[in-house]
Structure 1
């Protein structure tokens, strides 16, 4: 069973969150506490190889989906609204294809729908180099220097370091994830995704960062062609981590989507 964080009334409708590689379920805390927990039971999972879940293999798509379904079953969650960021978005698409009855609505935050093999190789090689830091402050400065967080408030980076850094026996700080699991995930993201036209889930929201590049126009067009009016697409300022760079815009788009009457609901 995966490690799970929860916010909100446990008897409220469930909303399950899936994070991306090198991340953790705590990334959804602000969204849950400030925007969603008043009306949803928000559950955020740590994927295998990440955070406080088990790190041992296998790390392929099937294993991740098995973990996710086992965990929500044990938590007593049947059908739910689902939200996935990056690799979590790809896993959500796979879940929509494999177990559509579990998914009432799907929110895709800058999803890694498909990563071209050359880029997947580059990212996998990069992930093999595990940085360490003398302090959380050094980790923040390194993250800023690496780029991609120009619009991210420093307070969010400080919270990230408190949650995600672990002090190792050598006195250095490292992030709480398995490098091997991340390498494996990039291999899985290079596989063709499910065909959008085959997905039976009634409603999708796709939020992408205008400076991200993870969801290029061609993939948006493929999604629109496959899903038609079932898909809403919103572009927000900033990069890949839309909950960091454009929290208000992203949260507003999610709330607006969730405020709609579900397709097929009785009047």
Structure 2
């Protein structure tokens, strides 16, 4: 492990802190679907993880270094207790934080993630890469235009990230997804690849996590399968499982209103996860 670094982060709102962790590739800005809503009631903190966004590094690192960085961020912000929301890789880090800092994590919202991640993504062809490049460039110029969604988007690798190819989802891709991809460093890719080769599996440790957890998954997710997410839910002692039909890994961009409504309902049923302890 290397020394912790100061993470670039965005914050909004006031009240109980909610730490929002992005996936790979990603950035704090790519979580706006969550932070824009939650910051109306809480203080959201959305960092760029090491090697992503504006948290630039030039040297190799390990996945464990993310945890040291996040603990340093909580210390710097004087946050003693927070709710943690994590999407994909961010969800894995959220679980790790709950294991590492149980007194500081009040609850977990885990989106398209798993403690033993498994996927069923088919092999990527050169045609996939060509169509994905074209779809991304055209979508940057004309976000959400229906003609290019049908002509390029649904033939690109986006067909494995999205099940519902809506203009809203492609607007998120243009505004947040593509910029985050371009800002993801080689070191971040190498760190993730190394972790996956080690067959990451924390299922046996999840019984230690006693805080409430909401686990959300898309039925057509091929990056982290819903079966893997459900397995995680079964091993967490105080979990709520939510499966969404006909959506994929980027389902918060496919059905944002439904996802945010379900998060609100879960928070209403577990008010102590966003309540400061005197």
Specify the TM-score bucket, using the shorter chain as the normaliser.
Answer: 0.7 to 0.9
Moved over 4 A (4+): 129-135, 138-144, 163-166
Partner Cα distance (2:182, 2:31) in 1:
17
- Hey, what does 1:22 align to over in structure 2? 25
- Hey, what does 2:211 align to over in structure 1? 202
From 220, 229, 242, the equivalent of 1:234 is 242
SS in 1 for 2:55: coil
Contiguous gaps of at least 5 residues in structure 2: 1-5
Alignment length (residue pairs): 249
1:163 deviation in Å? 4.2
1:113 deviation in Å? 2.6
1:158 deviation in Å? 3.1
- Given that residues 90 and 113 in structure 1 are in contact (C-alpha distance below 8 angstroms), is that contact kept between their aligned partners in structure 2? yes
- Hey, what does 1:246 align to over in structure 2? 255
Which deviations, in whole Å up to 9, do the C-alpha atoms of 1:171-206 show, x marking residues without a partner? xxx711113312321332432225344423320100
Contiguous gaps of at least 5 residues in structure 1: 167-173
Partner Cα distance (1:198, 1:58) in 2:
32
- Given that residues 24 and 45 in structure 1 are in contact (C-alpha distance below 8 angstroms), is that contact kept between their aligned partners in structure 2? yes
From 172, 181, 184, the equivalent of 1:177 is 184
Q: Is 1:64 equivalent to 2:72 in the alignment?
A: no
- Given that residues 55 and 181 in structure 1 are in contact (C-alpha distance below 8 angstroms), is that contact kept between their aligned partners in structure 2? no
- Given that residues 112 and 216 in structure 2 are in contact (C-alpha distance below 8 angstroms), is that contact kept between their aligned partners in structure 1? yes
Kindly report the root-mean-square deviation, in angstroms, between the aligned alpha carbons of the 2 structures: 3.2
Q: 1:152 to 1:32 in 2, by over 3 A?
A: farther
Which deviations, in whole Å up to 9, do the C-alpha atoms of 1:92-115 show, x marking residues without a partner? 111111111121000000114333
Q: Is 1:5 equivalent to 2:6 in the alignment?
A: no
User: TM-score of the superposition, structure 1-length normalised?
Assistant: 0.79
- Given that residues 30 and 177 in structure 2 are in contact (C-alpha distance below 8 angstroms), is that contact kept between their aligned partners in structure 1? no
Partner Cα distance (2:231, 2:177) in 1:
35
- Given that residues 215 and 229 in structure 2 are in contact (C-alpha distance below 8 angstroms), is that contact kept between their aligned partners in structure 1? no
Q: 1:135 to 1:200 in 2, by over 3 A?
A: closer
SS in 2 for 1:187: helix
Partner Cα distance (2:272, 2:171) in 1:
37
User: TM-score of the superposition, structure 2-length normalised?
Assistant: 0.76
- Given that residues 216 and 242 in structure 2 are in contact (C-alpha distance below 8 angstroms), is that contact kept between their aligned partners in structure 1? yes
Partner Cα distance (1:195, 1:57) in 2:
32
Q: 1:88 to 1:143 in 2, by over 3 A?
A: farther
Q: 1:152 to 1:259 in 2, by over 3 A?
A: farther
Partner Cα distance (1:83, 1:179) in 2:
25
- Given that residues 25 and 46 in structure 1 are in contact (C-alpha distance below 8 angstroms), is that contact kept between their aligned partners in structure 2? yes
1:132 deviation in Å? 6.0
Partner Cα distance (1:19, 1:47) in 2:
8
SS in 2 for 1:22: coil
Partner Cα distance (2:60, 2:114) in 1:
20
Partner Cα distance (2:135, 2:229) in 1:
40
